[in-house]
Amino acid sequence: MNTYVLTKDVCPHVIIKFHSRKLMVVNKVTLCVLLQYAIDDSLPFILNILLAQLFAILGSLVVTCYGLPWITLLLLPLGIFYYQIQHYYRRTSRYI
């Protein structure tokens, strides 16, 4: 008799097969572990890139607003408009 149980604690795609009172892992547990280490190793680099891009954008906005103070009058309504569009998009994309 074959019974399949999906374990969500270790890895969501691992299927454990109970057959003849022996526990056999059918799917690739090692792949899940290797993927976890690969993601853990790449996260600091991704965070570094994210912070570098964020500070580059903020720095250019600060320099632009310092050089052309009237552009802040344009950036504030555009920022509010952008936020409203993103808020609407996030709500509608949840239903898809």
CA distance 60 to 81: 20
Beta-sheet strand order (sheet of 22-25): 3-7, 14-19, 22-25
Domain span holding position 28:
3-94
Question: Bridge partners of 15?
Answer: 6
Query: Which tokens go with 14?
Result: 């691992």
Q: Could you tell me the pTM of the whole model?
A: 0.51
Give the total number of structural domains in the chain.
Answer: 1
The pLDDT of residue 57 is 95
Query: For every one of its 96 residues, what pLDDT tens digit does the chain have, with 9 covering 90 and above?
Result: 444 444 445 455 555 554 444 444 544 555 565 566 666 778 889 999 999 999 999 999 999 999 999 999 999 999 999 999 999 999 888 877
The pLDDT of residue 21 is 44
The pLDDT of residue 41 is 78
The pLDDT of residue 30 is 55
